[in-house]
Chains A and B, each alone.
Chain A
Amino acid sequence: MSVVLLLIAALIGVPLVLLGYIRLSEPLAGRNPRRAALLRPWLWLLPTFVLVAVFLVYPVVTTMVMSLRNGDSTAFVGLSNYAQVFSDPDNLAALENNILWLVFFTLGTLVFGLLIAVLTDRVRYESAAKALVFIPMAISFVAAGIIWKFMFEFRPAGEVQVGTVNALLTAVNPHFQPKAWLVDRASNNPALIAVGIWMWTGFAMVIISAALKAIPVDVIEAAKIDGATEIQVFFKVTLPLVGPTLGFVATTLMINVLKVFDIVYVMTNGNLGTDVIANRMYKTMFNYHNFGVASAIAVFLLVCIVPVMVINIRRFKQGGVANG
């Protein structure tokens, strides 16, 4: 019942309120047509500004203020929270892992996305293959984490392996020693990153594929007439032409990977050297109730993401994606 009401409100109420706002704001613009033309865009933008201010600017500023205050926000402590963020060995280990994620997740997703986009570009079952790769994007991170936790399930050697990964490996090679992938310190971070790559490859593939399609055929034909092999065409023509798109995908992936949380939280909760910075922020905030340090981590994360975002927006303005 309440869902129906909500739908009605969203479909009818929201446009109605907007129209009403535009109508009612009109007198504010004044009678002078030139002045009104100058004022009108600002009046129309006002609701957006208010929303952004309430839901974005206010929390960011509050977080910044809180990052300079103590655990329960009762006293000003200067930069000591930041000092703690960068001296706590757990946080430093998490930062190291974030760098691992940043490098291997981004590269892995990009390479697989490109590979699949190129390989499926000229086959008959292209859309089916691409749909298959894209499906994981539709699964929530938490669900994917749980699915992969089952896939990585471990039973001691000699038992029936119920985890897909160990079952496959022992079936292929009977001498394979089953492994607790998420527990072994050598394999747990790669295992988690693999889940991330599995989820995001579809995203990279779709965008890169669109860029591939946008390459004019005559350019490639010209190269072939000049005697270029397929491999030469790929490296000398295709790759430079999709370069800007790869850059866009890479920066988008980086923004996402800096915030990585769900996979780690669900699969290992950061145990045995798999913690990441967003998970540290969550723990500091909700388990340790240290709002000061948690806010400092949040601000640090924001500072890390801003340059990547600026690059992304610049690229967007130049129309890098559209031109492929």
Chain B
Amino acid sequence: MKRFAVLLAVMTLIIGGLSAQSAKIGGSIKVLGVWGGQEADTFAAMTQVFTDRTGVQVQFEATRDLDAVLTTRVQAGNPPDVVILPNPGKLYELAGAGKLVDLSKLLDMAEFAKDYSAGWKDLGTVNGKLYGLFVKAAIKGLVWYNPKAMKAAGIEAPSTWDEMIATSKRIAATGTTPWSVGIESGSASGWVGTDWLANIFLRLYGPAKYRDWYEGRVSWTSPEVKNAWQYFGQIVGDPAMSYGGSQYINSTNFGNAPAPLFQDPPKAYFHMQASFIQSFITDQFPGLKPGKDFDFFGFPSIDPKYAKAVEGGADVVAVFKSSPQVKAFMNFFASAEAQSYWAAGTGALATNRNVSLVFYTDPISKRAADLLNKSDIVVLSAGDMMPSEMQAAFWKACVDFVANPASLDQILANLEKVRATAYKK
């Protein structure tokens, strides 16, 4: 009976393309990821629809230490059916090692081409095969501010780096620190710094050079890379520029770092962070209205040639084991219907471009989603694209740099040493 049901389900899937609507497949799939809190709730609501429709139970296992859990399970020959990775570096490692299933064999590719831009497809492709489906995106490098405080202080949103530094210096001269930065994040401390550097590098040298950099073809000790770090140092290396100085930056969790903007009087005016920080702000300050009490402007341009590039981040879904259940799940997960769940107030953005903007419940997410849909060049955070050893060293380097900007040359020499071995695998 069960086997018959599966057969029926497979047949309807083949005949009807994406017709999970009517097929009761049954069974279950195991999904591993890092999502917790609101993300996990949203995912649960999304998969509930899938389960009601297909009868397939989705067993979601969440861990903040995905690297360790995944390594163990892959080594033991017991990987989950589906994994949701927080960065593509891991995807490339797994795909390169031949552990993943080619998604073009699972997904309805005609539908996929309609829903996802070529940029997302390229990012998920390894050796000509599609291994990663990008979901739940964020735009990185947004500068957040408190519009009321800005107005009261007579400050206008800058559009170039030099303007931004000039404005920051003017604020600093009044005795208030212009920036609030926090890069503590448990075992990933420093990643916020790598986002800063990625945004600076991208706007200094453009996407081609940016790619060379994360693919390991640019020396860390080169003048270009050093220059990017010195830009970053203009903000984190000067205690008058950043709230609490280096001790605060290194000891403050990234999620708490926007708080000084909303104190009265404000302790800082600017905060650089990805679009997802919105949910952190509204969690800590439930009274704040997006667009009115807090807002963002895009990362200022440095070289006007590269002003249009957008740096994004996204979780990426990969498949270890193929089955009719997994196939149905992946097609559902990729659909605009499922992806529209992110839009409803999580601060996350859908990668599926057919998710209507009406799903975004607040003006800020809507603007961010629009920005993402309209951008031609989407690059992901350079750190996320590097091999994990390089990324970990890059995180650590940011922590060391904030603690002691004067040791930049030594920090870069260390990174260069890691580059020599990390890319070999």
Contacts and interface: CB of A to CB of B under 8 A. Distances in A.
Interface of A: 71-72, 89, 153-156, 159, 179-180, 182-185, 265-266, 268-269, 271-272, 282-283, 285-290
Contact of B248 (A154, A265, A271): A154
Interface of B: 65, 67-68, 71-72, 93, 186-187, 189-190, 243-248, 250-252, 267, 388-389, 392, 396, 399-400, 403, 414, 422, 425
A153 B251 contact: yes
A17 to B, nearest CB: 26
B425 A71 contact: yes
A269 B248 contact: no
23 contacts: A72-B425, A154-B251, A154-B252, A156-B244, A156-B245, A180-B247, A180-B248, A180-B250, A180-B251, A183-B246, A265-B187, A266-B186, A268-B189, A271-B250, A272-B250, A285-B71, A286-B68, A286-B71, A287-B388, A287-B389, A288-B389, A289-B93, A290-B389
A288 B388 contact: yes
A182 B189 CA distance: 13
* Interface of B (DSSP majority class): helix
Given A72-B425, A269-B187, A287-B392, 7 more contacts: A89-B414, A154-B251, A183-B246, A183-B403, A265-B187, A272-B400, A287-B389
Contacts of A289: 71, 93, 388, 425
Q: Residue among A180, A184, A265 with the most chain B CB within 10 A? A: A180
Q: Residue among B186, B187, B251, B396 with the most chain A CB within 10 A? A: B251
Nearest to B72: A286
Contacts of A268: 189
A289 B392 CA distance: 12
Nearest to A184: B247
Nearest to B425: A71
Nearest to A88: B417
Contacts of A286: 65, 67-68, 71-72
Nearest to A153: B251
Contact of A271 (B246, B396, B414): B396
A137 B248 CA distance: 31
Q: Residue among B247, B250, B267, B388 with the most chain A CB within 10 A? A: B247
Contacts of A265: 187
B425 A185 contact: no
Contacts, number: 67
A89 to B, nearest CB: 8
B396 A154 contact: no
A71 B243 CA distance: 43
B247 A283 contact: no
Contacts of B93: 289
B190 A271 contact: yes
* Interface of A (DSSP majority class): loop
B388 A182 contact: no
Contacts of B400: 271-272
B243 A185 contact: no
Contact of A182 (B245, B251, B267): B251
A272 B68 contact: no
A11 B399 CA distance: 51
Contacts of B186: 266, 269
B315 to A, nearest CB: 19
A183 B189 contact: no
A157 B93 CA distance: 45
Contacts of A89: 414
Contacts of A288: 388-389, 392, 422
Contact of B247 (A183, A266, A285): A183
A183 B425 CA distance: 33
Given A283-B392, A289-B71, A289-B425, A272 B399 contact: yes
Contacts of A156: 243-245, 247-248
A72 B71 CA distance: 12
Nearest to A179: B247
A272 B187 CA distance: 13
Given A271-B396, A288-B388, A154 B403 contact: no
Nearest to B403: A272
Contacts of A153: 251
Contact of A154 (B189, B247, B267): B247
B199 to A, nearest CB: 22
Contacts of A272: 250, 399-400, 403
Nearest to A163: B251
Nearest to B247: A180
A205 B116 CA distance: 64
A265 B64 CA distance: 13
Contacts of A180: 247-248, 250-251
B160 to A, nearest CB: 29
Contacts of A269: 186-187, 189
A49 to B, nearest CB: 25
Nearest to B66: A286
A166 B264 CA distance: 23
Nearest to B185: A269
B403 A185 contact: yes
Contacts of A185: 403
B381 to A, nearest CB: 17
A271 B71 contact: no
A315 to B, nearest CB: 36
Contacts of B396: 271
A285 to B, nearest CB: 7
Contacts of B389: 287-288, 290
A271 B247 contact: no
Contacts of B248: 154-156, 180
A194 B422 CA distance: 35
A86 B400 CA distance: 22
Contacts of B252: 154
Nearest to A282: B68
A52 B188 CA distance: 37
A180 B253 CA distance: 13
A289 B94 CA distance: 11
A287 B403 contact: no
Nearest to B400: A272
Nearest to B244: A156
A155 B244 contact: yes
